[in-house]
Chain A
Amino acid sequence: MNLLFIVLLPFAGALLPPLAGRLGREAAAWTAAIVPVLALLLALEPLLAAFAGAPMTVGRAWLPQAGVDLILRMDGLAGLFILLILGIGLLIILYANYYLAEDDSPGRFFALLLLFMGAMVGIVLSDHLLQLLVFWELTSLSSFLLIGFRHRSVEARQGAKMALAVTGAGGLALLAGFLLLGRITGSYQISTILGMGDIIRAHPLYVPTLLLILLGAFTKSAQFPFHFWLPQAMAAPTPVSAYLHSATMVKAGVFLLARLFPALSGTDPWFFLVGGTGLLTLVYGAYSALFKHDLKGLLAYSTISHLGLIVLLFGIDTPLAAVAAVFHIINHATFKASLFMAAGIIDHETGTRDMRRINGLWKYMPISGTLAMVAAAAMAGVPLLNGFMSKEMFFAETFHLAVLGSFSWFLPVAATGAGILAVAYSARFIHDVFFNGEPVNLPKYPPHEAPRYMILPVAVLVGQCLIVGVFPTLTVAPFLALASAAVLNGPLPAYNLAVWHGFNAPFIMSLVAMFGGILLYSRRHALFALHDRLFWGIEAHLLYRRVVHRLIDGARMATEAIDNGSLQRSVALLLLAAGLAVLLPLASGDSALAGDLPISAVDPVTLLGALLMMAAALATVFFHRQRLIALIVLSVVGLLAVLTFVRFSAPDLALTQLAVEVVTIMLLLLALYFLPQQDRPESPGWRRGRDLLLALAVGGGCGLVTWAILTRPATTIADYYLANSLPGGGGANVVNVILVDFRGFDTLGEITVLAIAAIAIYALLDRLCLAPGTLYGVRPRWAFERHSLVLAQITRFLLPLALMVAIYFFLRGHNAPGGGFIAGLITAIALILQYMASGITWTQMQWHQHFHKVIAWGVLLAAATGLGSWLFDRPFLTSAFGHYDLPLIGEIELATAMLFDLGVYLTVVGVVMLILATLALLSRRCVETGRCN
C-alpha cells in the first residue's frame, strides 16, 4: 500500500504549490518540500523489506482485458533510485527556493517539478513494462515543460522541443521494443521477464527487440548520436538541469539497462551495441566538454560523458562491471548535481556563465568555491573522493575483455584517454572559474557569496562525496550491494570497496589520467585554436535542425501539391471520391439495383411535396448568385424536408431540422452582411460543365443507393433499441434514449466537440474587424429606426411562452418527441429573437451571462453525470431511473439520463448563443471603431 502512496503523493502534491504560490515563493517551496519528506518516510518500510530480501509488491487490476495491470515493486535497484530521486529532489526544492527569479512563477515551477518527481518514482517502481512506459513518457513531457519553463526565451522553447522530439521518438521505439518483449515472453511483468533471459536471448526477435529498447534508453540517457538534446536542454533553470538533466531523468536510460540487464545482456550484440555506444559517448562527451566556454555546457557534455561511462560498464557485461555501473550512478548523481547547483550559484551571483569572463571567483565566494572545487575533483576522479573509487573499478574492468582478442589493449587506452580529458575539463572548471586572474566585465560586480540556504544543499551533496570517498564500507556499501544484487538478479561477485588497492594497473591509469589531464589543460590555448580550425560549425543540434527544416518543407510541399487552398477544388475532389465509391460497385452490376420489396403507394400530397422540394432545390441553384433569394428558396427546401420527416413518422428529426433551419438562416444572414449581395460568375464554362456532371453523378448515386437499400428487407440494429428502450433505458422515446443512454458516450463526445468548435469560432472572430459588404456599391437602409417598438413588445411576450415550450419539450423528451437538443435550440432561438428585436445592449442589460460558462457547465454536468455512476460501482454513464408518485401531480419518472440531457441542453444553448452573439458583435465592433468603413 505504501508503494502506491509513494507514487501518488508527488502527483497529488503537485496541486498544492500553485495554490500556495499566491502566498509567495517561500510558501510554494515549503509545501513542495513536504512531498519528498513524506515520501521518504513512506519509503522506509519497503526499503527495510528490500534489505530483508523480500521486496514489497502492490498490484491493482487496471485493464485486465488487455493484460495491463498496475504493479509496483520495490527491490534494491528501485530503492536506491527512490533515495536518489527523493533525496536530491528535496535538496533541489530547497535550492530552487533561492534560485528562482522574481518573475518566475514559483507555483508552476514546483508543481512541474513534483510532477516530474512522481513520474520518475513511477518509472523505478514499475513492475510492468507498459506501465513503466507511461511514466517514461510522463518524464519526457514534464522535462519538456520544465526546459521551456521560461517560455519567453527562444532557446528555452527550441531546447524543449528538441528534447521532446528526441526522447519522445525514443519512447515510441521503446514501446515497440516492450511489445516485442511481451510477445517473446508472454508477460509484461518485469520480475517475471527477468527470469526468462535464456528464452529471450535465443529468440529470433532478440536483436530487433534489443535495438528498439536500446534506442529508447540511449535517447533518454543522451548517448551518441542522440546526445545533442541535452546541451540544448541547459536553457532550463539550473535546478532543473541539476535534477533532471544530470541526477535523475537522464539516468532513466541507464536505469532501464540495469533493470533489463539479466534479461538482455550476455550476448555479442549487447556487448558491441551497448559497449560501443558507451565508449563513443564517453570519449566524445569528454572531448566536447573541454571546449565549452559555457559553464553549464561543460557540465552538460561531462554528464554525457559520464553517462557513456555507465553505459560502457553495462556493456562490458561482467558482474563486477555492473556493480561499478551502479556505484557510478550514485557517485555521478551526487557530484554532478552539486556541480550544477554551484554553477547556478555562480550564474546567480555574476550574471553570466561564460568561463572567459568569470575568473578568480575564489576570493569573492570562498565557501561555494571550495565546495565546487571538491565536487569537480570528484568528477575528475581524485583519490579520497567518491568519483575516484568507481573510476578505479571502471579502469580495472577494462582489462577483462577476451572478446576483443588482440585488440584488448584498445579499451584501457581509450579509457585512459577519456580519463585524461575528464581531468582536463575538471581542471578547467576549477582553474578558469576560481583562479586565472580577475573577472572580466561581469554583469553583476562584485560577486557575493550566495545565501546560506542556497549553499546548504550543495554542502550536503559534497559532504557525501567526501564521506563515501573516505569511508565507503561504512556508508554506501550496503546500498550498493542491495542494488547490485537486484541488477544482477543473482549472487554478487566478490569486490572490495577500499580506498587503496595497491600499486596496480588501474592506479597507474589514474596517475596517467591525472598528470596527462593537467598537462593537456596547461596546453589548452593551442588546443582550442586547433579545435576551432578543425571542427568549427560541426554541431549535432544544427544538423538536427536542418533535418527538421527539410522535413517541414517537404511536408508543406506535399500539402500544397494536394490542397492549393481552393474550396471548390477540395469539395470537387471529395465529391468525386464519394461518387466513385458509390458508382463503381453499382457499375460492376453483380446484383440487381432494386430489391424485392414492392413500392408503396404514393399519395398526391406527398407527391406534390416531393416535386416542390425538387423545384426549390433547382431554384436554389438557379438563384445562387443572388444570395438572399437563394437563401429564401433554400428555406423552402428545409421546410419541405421537415414535412418529409413528419410524413414518415420521425417527429424528433422534424423538430430538430426545423430549429436548425432557423438558426442556419440567422447565421447566414449575419454572414451575408459582410458579403457582397451579388456574385460575379467566375468559373469558365468547362468548369461549370464539369461541376454539373459531378453533381449529377453524386446526387444520382445517392438516390440509387437509397433506392437500393429501401427496396430491400433489412434487419437493423433499430430493432434492438426499439425492444430495449423502455425496459433498459426507462424511456418510451427511442431516439432520446439512444442519445442520452444507449449511445450516451457518443453524445458526450459530440457536445464536447461542439463546445470546442464554439470556443474556436469565438477565438477566431474575437478581434476580427470586417467591412460590411455592399449592394451595387450602396447598402439600402429602409428603416432608420434600429429597433421597431411593435416588434420589441411582441417578442417580449413571446419569450416566456417560448421558454415554456422549451421546458415542456425538455421534460417530456424521454418519453415523447423532444429532449435536451431540441429544447436547447428552441431556447437559443427565443433568446436570439430578443437580440434581434431589442438589440444586444438591451438584452445583455437584462441578462448578464457569459455563454462560455454555460457551455462549460453543460459539458461538466454531462461528464459528471457519467462519472456519478462510478460511485455506485457501475461503468461510466450507466443510467438509473425510477417512477415516483407525487401528490397532486401524479406519477413522474426521474432518470439520471435527464441530468445528462440537461448538460446537452446547456451546451446547445451556450454554443448557439456564443456563435451568433460573436458574429453579431463583429458587425457592431466595426461600426463603432469605424476602422473598416
Chain B
Amino acid sequence: MLNLAVIIAFVCIAVALLLNFWRLIRGPSLPDRILALDTMYINTVALLVLFGIYQGLTVFFEAALIIALMGFVSTVALCKYLLRGDIIE
C-alpha cells in the first residue's frame, strides 16, 4: 500500500519538476524564474525523502535537509541580486 502511494507521489513530483522547469525556461520575468528554481529545490527535497522511504534508508534525509537549507540561501542570494544588484552590502 505504502509502495503504491510512494510511486504515485513519485509521478506527481516528477510532473511538478517538469512544470517547474517549463516555467523556468519560459519566464517571462526574472522573479518567475527564481521562484521556479526555488520550487525545484523544494520538489527535490520531496523526491529525496520519497527515495529514502522507497529504499528504506535514512541516509538521504540529511541530503534533503541540506538541500532545504542551501536552496533557501541561493534563493536569498538571487533575490538580493535582483533587488539591489549587490548581494553583500
Contact = CB atoms under 8 A, between A and B. Distances in A.
A268 to B, nearest CB: 76
A608 B14 contact: yes
Interface in B46-89: 47-48, 51, 59-60, 62-63, 65-67, 69-70, 73-74, 76-78, 80-89
Interface residues of B, number: 42
Nearest to A660: B70
A658 B37 contact: no
Interface stretch (A384-392, A634-642, A689-697): A634-642
B23 to A, nearest CB: 11
Which of B41, B69, B70 has the largest number of chain A CB atoms within 10 A? B70
Interface in A861-875: none
A801 to B, nearest CB: 8
A614 to B, nearest CB: 11
Contacts of B60: 646, 651
A833 interface: yes
B65 A639 contact: no
A613 to B, nearest CB: 10
Contact of A670 (B70, B82, B87): B87
A617 interface: no
A635 B84 contact: no
Given A632-B34, A787-B89, A781 B70 contact: no
B17 to A, nearest CB: 7
Interface string A625-661: 0001100110110010011001100010011001101
A669 B89 contact: no
Given A619-B25, A669-B77, A836-B77, A635 B85 contact: no
Contacts of B67: 639, 642, 658
A608 B24 contact: no
A782 interface: yes
B31 to A, nearest CB: 10
Interface string A772-808: 1000000111110011000100010010001001000
Interface in A280-329: none
Contacts of A639: 40-41, 44, 67
A802 B24 CA distance: 29
A747 to B, nearest CB: 22
Interface stretch (A152-160, A846-854, A916-924): A916-924
A651 B67 CA distance: 12
B83 A782 contact: yes
Contacts of A835: 88
A781 B84 contact: yes
B18 to A, nearest CB: 7
Given A651-B60, A783-B83, A839-B89, A829 B41 contact: no
B80 to A, nearest CB: 6
B76 A661 contact: no
A817 interface: yes
A456 interface: no
Interface string A899-933: 00000000000000000110110011000000000
A829 B89 contact: no
Contacts of A655: 62-63, 66
B66 A659 contact: yes
The prevalent SS among residues of A at the interface is helix
B47 A817 contact: no
A419 B3 CA distance: 106
Nearest to B64: A646
Contacts of B10: 604-605
Given A632-B78, A659-B66, A669-B78, A920 B14 contact: no
Which of B17, B48, B80, B84 has the largest number of chain A CB atoms within 10 A? B84
Given A628-B81, A805-B69, A840-B89, A817 B76 contact: no
B63 A923 contact: no
Contact of A672 (B21, B51, B81): B81
The prevalent SS among residues of B at the interface is helix
A923 B69 CA distance: 27
Given A661-B70, A669-B87, A837 B21 contact: no
B86 A632 contact: no
B63 A651 contact: yes
Contact of B88 (A636, A779, A840): A840
Nearest to B31: A782
A583 interface: no
A651 B63 CA distance: 7
A783 B84 contact: yes
B88 A670 contact: yes
B22 to A, nearest CB: 10
Contacts of A616: 21
Interface string A667-703: 0011011000000000000000000000000000000
Contact of A642 (B63, B69, B83, B84): B63
A662 B74 contact: yes
B51 to A, nearest CB: 7
A548 interface: no
Contact of A628 (B30, B40, B89): B30
Contacts of B88: 670, 832, 835-836, 839-840, 916-917, 919-920, 923
Which of B14, B24, B47, B73 has the largest number of chain A CB atoms within 10 A? B73
A826 B77 contact: no
A145 B44 CA distance: 60
B89 A632 contact: no
Contacts of B51: 646-647
A269 B42 CA distance: 83
A615 B21 contact: yes
Contacts of A629: 27, 30, 33
B66 A923 contact: no
A665 interface: yes
A920 B85 CA distance: 12
Contacts of B34: 632
Given A629-B33, A779-B85, A781-B84, A651 B59 contact: yes
A605 B9 CA distance: 11
Contacts of A628: 30, 78, 81-82
Contact of B89 (A635, A919, A924): A924
Nearest to A834: B88
A782 B82 contact: yes
A905 to B, nearest CB: 16
A787 B76 CA distance: 12
28 contacts: A605-B47, A615-B21, A632-B33, A632-B34, A636-B21, A639-B67, A642-B67, A646-B51, A651-B62, A654-B63, A655-B62, A658-B66, A659-B66, A669-B78, A673-B85, A782-B83, A782-B84, A786-B89, A791-B76, A798-B69, A805-B65, A817-B59, A817-B62, A826-B69, A833-B73, A839-B88, A920-B86, A920-B87
Interface of A: 604-605, 608, 612, 615-616, 619, 628-629, 632-633, 635-636, 639, 642-643, 646-647, 651, 654-655, 658-659, 661-662, 665-666, 669-670, 672-673, 772, 779-783, 786-787, 791, 795, 798, 802, 805, 816-817, 826, 829, 832-833, 835-837, 839-840, 916-917, 919-920, 923-924
Given A673-B85, A673-B86, 19 more contacts: A612-B18, A615-B21, A619-B25, A629-B30, A635-B74, A636-B40, A639-B67, A643-B47, A651-B59, A655-B63, A665-B74, A665-B78, A669-B87, A780-B85, A781-B83, A829-B69, A833-B76, A836-B80, A920-B87
Interface of B: 10, 14, 17-18, 21, 24-25, 27, 30, 33-34, 37, 40-41, 44, 47-48, 51, 59-60, 62-63, 65-67, 69-70, 73-74, 76-78, 80-89
Nearest 10 A-B pairs (CB), nearest first?
Answer: A920-B88, A783-B83, A662-B70, A669-B81, A835-B88, A665-B74, A923-B86, A662-B74, A782-B83, A608-B14
